[in-house]
């Protein structure tokens, strides 16, 4: 279905080609998963499949890309629209109309499909993706998962033979991600559609893949093949694979179910042992840092928060979890005084953030927002850093120094827009930390981060907690929470539904349980390192 | 009778019909300064909106327009009171302290006595503008601007897409700007400083640019512009014809609405413009480059709704030419009369509340239908 022959891409102003000498075949009806670090060329690879690279983006395409018998060098994206359906990273950005039904029909109108056929195909797609209930809804009112499914539907109506998705689940909560993945699964099984997906969150998708395409980056050759084989040697691995590798299970399990069957000996080995004390958590809880009481926040007619209480302590990492729209971001925004509460009050180290001069607030509480780029407006990394020093009254170079710790090797004159996702987060984190805020808040920090960047972030946060900062992060990333959080607060519908130590809360919840917990069944085992250190200490 | 012709089958009325109705009422309102008639126009639009509006986000437009027009009336009255001249009437209501102005502003007077005539005349003029605004607001609330753009002829398709994209981007820009300004607080900047402008504008514009590139890529990947077989020259001719035609129609329409222009000269301009525009559309649409999904039908209810608006305008024009005394308030302080023909004409505008098909009930759009959940392998 898809044939790449010694394919390479080089953008006009790039010193080295983004991709080179890629040769692989994806058969009809396969679900191919493209993995690789940030900047390894995943998106570029996906965009060559429907001709957006090079026709739309510019740059030079070497070698050959043939999709369903059409050479993309000779067919433009619009001429490939009937064989390749492409869904970009942000489905909202690709919507042309304002209603679900019209959006599904948009592609068909462009292809000049006859009206009766069009009507039929839209109805079929509504049923296939379970969108019938949403057909008259405005696109702006949809949730993240629904939006993603509408975006998939809007290309499926054209009856493509290949579906290409760029990070379809990275912005979604676990439940919505499951919904989207189940839909993809169904398309592969029932329609024999060939699906190519790029994703950072391997723990969510790797078990569905029929083929794994690993882009190691830095000029090393691309590996494509059976997921088990590729996973065996890949430097990116979800916890279940890491556990399998460590325990030496053969064949390497990719799904929880396979791992659970292989894990019986490990489970009996672990009987009677306890995981070590978690993370950098101090033996005794630190002093109180922030206190939120009875917080109520309202946007128009909807209550985003209805009476939330939260106390953070210094040296403690708290994770706020919950569905999209549960009020996580609002809680964080209220804690820095960005939104006005209708009732209740917020107190961070003795001040009310909503009534404090922003400049003074820098030393009390800092927030890394969901889209870190909002904070950046400088021409270069150096300019941003010196501005941050000036704002916070910190000694010159302190922001730059911290940024170098978090993301080494970035030149001074680099434009913030050209940083990778992880580097940009590091820069904003460095800027926020320049004021040495007692309370640090992070909103969805791992969106778009690969495992390496995530590990670096986890280490940085643990280090901060050890130095006495109170850290709160709102996230969907169960594995990150399992790794670093001391405490988990689950929000639903603007209320706190559970609040307790990480191991208790995560183990008790089916939706938020990390992979290792699911594999090992009972017991407070959350991460691979829990298991390895416990057994290392025992032997 | 075919189902689409029935005024009982719930469906969305063609957006064009709503706009014609609203334009008809607006034309009627522009013919009179009689406050009773103007209030009647506002009431009629309000009633129809209440009867036939949907749950869509834009359906709240009417109240926004209504509030805006109230502000407008108040503003107009205040300005008039401040700048009123003794020549505007003899009934002095009260006297404001007069501000002495230099000689070269001889024609202008600030403060001084405020006459009832001046205030009432200003109120009526403001009311007229308010009625026209309410008509526009009603059309906005009843018909999605996008639906209207969706039914533009093929030759105007590109322009239509540009408008649709702009409609999406404008509110998005506002949201983005607000978000970025808020974010700057996090860097210790007070949000009200002028230097913040560049800091806000830069991320917002960069974001907008990124999004438009993303949208263009998505449209390209979904086949936009794929089967456009017209040559560039043919497209230019079509665009030129349409533009000239629309200009002609605007001039003609203005002539018709503005009672002072001679109707005989306005009519041919309007007709010529319509012919030109139609020719351009036909020329541009010779080859249909695209098909349309579920186009809104133009059936009996559309004729009735559009017709009621046009009839309303026509009756007012007739009344204006035969007995203008009931329409124009020559003496603002006199009690306004109730002329029968214009009242009947404006009441015709109520017809859509009955003749337009009912709004599809929200049950059909089933907001609560859950997506089927396929058990995921874990």
What would the pLDDT profile of B246-294 be if each residue is shown by its tens digit?
Answer: 888 888 777 766 666 555 577 788 888 888 888 887 777 665 567 788 8
| C-alpha distance from A221 to closest chain B C-alpha (Å) | 29
- SS3 label, residue A73: coil
CB contact under 8 A, B222 and A158: yes
| pLDDT for position B259 | 60
Comparing CB atoms, the residue among A109, A371, A432 nearest residue B293 is A109
Tokens of A58: 């510019």
DSSP secondary structure string for all residues of B264-331: HHHHHHHHHHHHHHHHHHHHHTSS-----SSPPP--HHHHHHHHHHHHHHHHHHHHHHH-GGGTS-SS
Averaged pLDDT for residues B344-359 = 91
Compute CA A533 distance to the chain's CA centroid, rounded to the nearest angstrom: 28
Can you give the three-state secondary structure of A498-524, one letter per residue? EEEEHHHHHHHCCCCCCHHHHHHCCCC
- SS3 label, residue A365: strand
Residue from A129, A358, A416 to probe the interface with B (highest B Cβ count within 10 Å): A358
- Residue A218: how many other CB atoms lie within 10 Å: 9
Q: Is the peptide bond before A251 cis (omega within 30 degrees of 0)?
A: yes
Name the strands in the sheet holding A495-501, side by side, starting at the edge strand that comes first in the sequence.
A365-368, A439-443, A470-474, A317-321, A487-492, A495-501
- SS3 label, residue B79: helix
| pLDDT for position B148 | 78
**A321-330, B92-101, B133-142, B187-196: least confident range:** B187-196
Pick the closest to residue A204 from A162, A152, A165 (CA basis): A165
Taking CB atoms and an 8 Å cutoff, what residues of chain A touch B184?
375
Q: How would you classify residue A439: left for phi > 0, otherwise alpha for psi between -120 and 50, otherwise beta?
A: beta
Decide if pLDDT at A251 tops 80: yes
Residue B50 CB burial class (10 angstroms; 0-12, 13-18, ≥19)? exposed
| pLDDT for position A418 | 82
Give the best-scoring range by mean pLDDT among A6-20, A426-440, B108-122, B220-234: A426-440
Tokens of A405: 């710790």
Taking CB atoms and an 8 Å cutoff, what residues of chain A touch B378?
207, 255-257, 518
What would the pLDDT profile of A306-352 be if each residue is shown by its tens digit?
Answer: 999 999 999 999 999 988 888 899 999 999 988 888 889 899 988 89
Buried b (16+ CB within 10 A) or exposed e, A235-265: ebbbbbbbbbbebebeebbbbbebbbebbee
Averaged pLDDT for residues A142-146 = 84
Is the minimum CB–CB distance between A9 and chain B shorter than 8 Å? no
The residues, ordered by sequence, that sit 6+ positions from A230 with a Cβ below 8 Å of its Cβ are: A212, A213, A214, A223, A224
Chain A's closest residue to B289, CA to CA, is A112
Higher-pLDDT residue of A403 and B112 is A403
| Beta-bridge partners for B82 | none
Taking CB atoms and an 8 Å cutoff, what residues of chain A touch B223?
78, 81-82, 107, 110-111, 158
* Cβ B164 vs Cβ A96: under 8 Å: yes
| pLDDT for position B373 | 38
E-strand spans in A207-316? 211-215, 223-225, 288-299, 302-313
* Cβ A284 vs Cβ A260: under 8 Å: no
What would the pLDDT profile of A145-195 be if each residue is shown by its tens digit?
Answer: 889 999 999 999 999 999 999 989 888 888 888 889 998 999 999 889 999
What would the pLDDT profile of A436-491 be if each residue is shown by its tens digit?
Answer: 899 999 998 988 788 888 888 999 999 999 988 999 999 989 999 999 999 999 99
Decide if pLDDT at A220 tops 70: yes
CB contact under 8 A, A110 and B207: no
Higher-pLDDT residue of A408 and B191 is A408
| C-alpha distance from B138 to closest chain A C-alpha (Å) | 20
Is the minimum CB–CB distance between A218 and chain B shorter than 8 Å? no
Rounded Cα–Cα distance for residues B349 and B306 (Å): 9
Comparing CB atoms, the residue among B198, B221, B367 nearest residue A52 is B221
For chain A, positions 415-434, list CB contacts with chain B under 8 A: 417, 431-432
Is the minimum CB–CB distance between A518 and chain B shorter than 8 Å? yes
Rounded Cα–Cα distance for residues B212 and A85 (Å): 19
CA atoms lying within 13 Å on the CB side of residue B113: 12
Comparing CB atoms, the residue among B224, B368, B377 nearest residue A207 is B377
Grade residue A22 by pLDDT with cuts at 50, 70 and 90.
very high
CB contact under 8 A, B369 and A133: yes
DSSP helix, strand, coil percent of chain B (3-state; round to 5): 65, 5, 30
CB contacts < 8 A (A, B): 206
Grade residue A497 by pLDDT with cuts at 50, 70 and 90.
very high
Is the minimum CB–CB distance between A466 and chain B shorter than 8 Å? no
| pLDDT for position A270 | 86
What contacts 24+ positions apart, CB below 8 Å, involve B361-370? B361/B10, B362/B55, B364/A136, B364/B10, B365/A135, B365/A136, B365/A137, B366/A132, B366/A133, B367/A133, B367/A134, B367/A137, B368/A133, B369/A132, B369/A133, B369/A134, B370/A133
Rounded Cα–Cα distance for residues A82 and A514 (Å): 40
Decide if pLDDT at B198 tops 80: no
Pick the closest to residue A171 from A240, A95, A92, A256 (CA basis): A92
Residue A306 CB burial class (10 angstroms; 0-12, 13-18, ≥19)? middle
Radius of gyration of chain B (CA): 26
Residue from A59, A95, A112 to probe the interface with B (highest B Cβ count within 10 Å): A112
Taking CB atoms and an 8 Å cutoff, what residues of chain B touch A131?
371
| C-alpha distance from A269 to closest chain B C-alpha (Å) | 24
Is the minimum CB–CB distance between A136 and chain B shorter than 8 Å? yes
CA atoms lying within 13 Å on the CB side of residue A466: 10
Decide if pLDDT at B86 tops 80: no
CB contact under 8 A, A94 and B378: no
Averaged pLDDT for residues B295-315 = 91
What would the pLDDT profile of B39-72 be if each residue is shown by its tens digit?
Answer: 999 999 999 999 988 877 777 888 989 999 999 9
Percent of chain A with pLDDT over 70: 98
Pick the closest to residue A492 from A329, A335, A344, A323 (CA basis): A323
Tokens of A247: 């325990």
What would the pLDDT profile of A41-71 be if each residue is shown by its tens digit?
Answer: 888 999 999 999 888 888 899 999 999 999 9
Averaged pLDDT for residues B359-363 = 66
CB contact under 8 A, B377 and A367: no
Decide if pLDDT at B377 tops 70: no
CB contact under 8 A, A138 and B219: no
| C-alpha distance from B200 to closest chain A C-alpha (Å) | 8
pTM: 0.80
Pick the closest to residue B34 from B139, B162, B124 (CA basis): B124
| pLDDT for position B369 | 39
Mean residue pLDDT of chain A comes to 88
| pLDDT for position B364 | 43
Query: Is residue A416 within a helix (H) or strand (E), and if so which, with residue range?
Result: none
CB contact under 8 A, B214 and A88: yes
The residues, ordered by sequence, that sit 6+ positions from A223 with a Cβ below 8 Å of its Cβ are: A212, A213, A214, A216, A230, A233, A234
Residue A66 CB burial class (10 angstroms; 0-12, 13-18, ≥19)? middle
């Amino acid at each position: 279905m898809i044939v790449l022959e010694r394919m390479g891409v080089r953008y006009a102003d790039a010193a080295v080609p983004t991709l080179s000498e890629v040769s692989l075949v994806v058969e009809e009806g396969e679900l191919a998963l493209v993995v690789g670090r940030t900047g390894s060329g995943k998106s570029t690879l996906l965009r060559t499949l429907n001709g957006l690279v090079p026709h739309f983006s510019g740059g030079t395409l070497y070698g050959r890309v043939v999709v369903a018998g059409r050479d993309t060098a000779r067919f433009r994206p619009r001429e490939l629209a009937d064989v390749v359906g492409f869904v970009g990273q942000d489905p909202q950005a690709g919507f042309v109309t304002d209603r679900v039904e019209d959006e599904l029909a948009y592609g068909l109108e462009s292809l000049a499909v006859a009206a009766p056929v069009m009507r039929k195909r839209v109805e079929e797609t509504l049923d296939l993706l379970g969108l019938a209930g949403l057909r008259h809804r405005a696109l702006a009112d949809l949730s993240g998962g629904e939006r993603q499914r509408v975006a998939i539907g809007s290309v499926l109506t054209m009856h493509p033979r290949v579906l290409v998705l760029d990070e379809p689940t990275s912005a979604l909560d676990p439940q919505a991600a499951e919904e989207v993945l189940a839909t993809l699964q169904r398309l592969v099984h029932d329609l024999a559609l060939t699906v190519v997906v790029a994703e950072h969150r391997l723990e969510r998708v790797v078990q569905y893949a029929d083929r794994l395409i690993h882009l190691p980056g830095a000029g090393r050759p691309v590996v494509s093949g059976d997921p088990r084989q590729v996973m065996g040697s890949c430097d990116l691995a979800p916890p279940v694979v890491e556990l399998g590798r460590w325990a030496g299970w053969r064949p390497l399990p990719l799904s929880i179910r396979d791992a659970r069957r292989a894990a019986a000996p490990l489970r009996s080995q672990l009987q009677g042992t306890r995981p070590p004390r978690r993370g950098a958590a101090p033996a005794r809880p630190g002093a109180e840092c922030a206190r939120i009481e009875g917080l109520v926040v309202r946007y128009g007619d909807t209550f985003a928060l209805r009476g939330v209480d939260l106390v953070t302590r210094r040296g403690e990492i708290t994770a706020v979890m919950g569905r999209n729209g549960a009020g996580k971001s609002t809680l964080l925004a209220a804690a820095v005084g960005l939104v006005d509460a209708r009732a209740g009050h917020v107190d961070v180290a003795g001040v009310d953030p909503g009534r404090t001069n922003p400049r003074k607030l820098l030393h009390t509480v800092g927030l890394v927002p969901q889209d870190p780029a909002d904070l950046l407006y400088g021409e270069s990394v150096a300019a941003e850093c010196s501005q941050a020093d000036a704002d916070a009254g910190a000694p010159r170079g302190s922001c730059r120094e911290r940024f170098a710790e978090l993301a080494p090797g970035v030149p001074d004159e680099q434009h913030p827009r050209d940083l990778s996702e992880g580097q940009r987060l590091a820069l904003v984190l460095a800027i926020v930390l320049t004021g040495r805020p007692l309370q640090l808040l992070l909103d969805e920090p791992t969106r778009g981060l690969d495992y390496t960047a995530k590990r670096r972030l986890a280490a940085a946060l643990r280090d901060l907690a050890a130095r006495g900062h109170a850290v709160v992060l709102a996230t969907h990333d169960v594995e990150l929470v399992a790794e670093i959080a001391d405490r988990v607060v689950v929000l639903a519908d603007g209320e706190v539904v559970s609040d307790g130590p990480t191991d208790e809360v995560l183990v008790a919840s089916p939706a938020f349980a990390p992979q290792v917990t699911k594999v090992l069944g009972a017991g407070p085992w959350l991460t691979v390192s829990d298991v390895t250190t416990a057994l290392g200490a025992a032997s | 009778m075919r189902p689409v012709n029935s005024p009982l089958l719930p469906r969305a009325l063609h957006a064009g019909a709503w706009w014609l109705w609203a334009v008809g009422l607006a034309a009627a309102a522009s013919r009179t300064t009689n406050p009773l008639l103007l209030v009647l126009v506002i009431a009629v639009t309000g009633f129809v909106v209440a009867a036939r509006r949907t749950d869509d986000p834009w359906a709240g437009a009417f109240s926004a327009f209504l509030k805006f027009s109230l502000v407008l009336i108040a503003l107009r009255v205040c300005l008039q009171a401040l700048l009123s001249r003794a020549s505007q009437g003899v009934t002095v209501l009260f006297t404001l302290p007069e501000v002495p102005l230099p000689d070269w502003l001889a024609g202008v007077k600030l403060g001084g006595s405020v006459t009832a005539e001046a205030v009432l005349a200003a109120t009526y003029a403001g009311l007229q503008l308010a009625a026209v605004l309410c008509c526009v607001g009603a059309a906005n609330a009843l018909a999605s601007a996008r639906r209207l753009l969706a039914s533009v002829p093929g030759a105007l398709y590109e322009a239509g897409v540009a408008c649709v994209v702009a409609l999406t981007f404008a509110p998005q820009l506002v949201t983005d700007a607000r978000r970025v300004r808020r974010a700057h607080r996090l860097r210790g900047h007070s949000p009200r400083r002028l230097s913040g402008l560049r800091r806000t504008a830069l991320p917002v514009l960069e974001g907008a640019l990124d999004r438009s590139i993303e949208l263009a890529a998505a449209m390209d990947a979904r086949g936009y512009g794929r089967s456009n077989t017209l040559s560039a020259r043919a497209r230019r001719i079509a665009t030129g014809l349409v533009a000239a035609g629309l200009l002609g129609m605007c001039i003609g329409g203005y002539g018709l609405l503005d009672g002072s222009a001679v109707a005989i000269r306005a009519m041919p301009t309007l007709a010529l413009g319509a012919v030109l525009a139609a020719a351009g559309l036909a020329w541009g649409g010779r080859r249909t480059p695209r098909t349309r999904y579920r186009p809104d039908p133009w059936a009996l209810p559309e004729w009735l709704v559009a017709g009621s608006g046009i009839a309303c305008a026509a009756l007012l024009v007739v009344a204006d030419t035969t007995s203008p005394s009931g329409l124009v308030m020559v003496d603002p302080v006199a009690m306004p009369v109730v002329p029968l023909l214009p009242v009947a004409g404006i009441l015709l505008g109520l017809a859509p509340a009955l003749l337009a098909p009912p709004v599809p009930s929200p049950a059909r759009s089933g907001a609560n239908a859950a997506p089927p959940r396929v058990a995921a392998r874990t």
